Amino acid sequence: IRWQRYEAICRRAFGALREAGVPFLVLKGAALSLAAYAGPELRHSHDIDVLVRQEDRGRAAAVLSDAGFAPMPSRAGTAAGTTALIDRSHLPLELHTRLYRLLHYDPPLAAVWESAVPWRLGEATLRTLAPEDHFVYVCGQAACSASRDTPKWAADAFALASS
């Protein structure tokens, strides 16, 4: 039941961005739950992460606002280059313009966008990081994020390596 509610919110967010023509890549939980795990309910997700280009961040936030996401008051741990929004169900959505908090970790984003792969959410074809980029991203997030203390990153890395 939790996955169904999460998926419905993802569909609304991703559909709004797609209809508005905002290029984006689905990151972490939303993408990994379907791309790397045996069943989407096996990957707990407590937010939605989306990569957008810096020049599209304002437009993406406006589109998502029209789709029912409100600006989130400052959230502890929100990285620079990130716009935090929240759904009326209290599910956070973060628009990222870079992959890592630490600038020296960031790969050339043009190459990341170019190597992105199609990803299906129901009938919609969206895009996410290539599996090898997602693996490096998950491990890189663990190296520079407070959430590294939880083992979820290890499960994601294992699921990606096994898929």
**Dihedral pair phi/psi, residue 143, rounded to 5°:** -75, -25
* Mean pLDDT value of segment 140-163: 79
More confident residue, 58 or 73: 58
Q: Which long-range contacts (CB under 8 A, 24 or more apart) does 66-75 make?
A: 66/16, 67/12, 67/13, 67/15, 67/16, 68/12, 69/13, 69/93
Q: Considering Cα of 129, then 132, then 135, then 141, what sign does the dihedral take?
A: negative
More confident residue, 70 or 144: 70
CA 60 from centroid of its chain's CA atoms: 14
Instruction: Look up the pTM and report it.
Output: 0.89
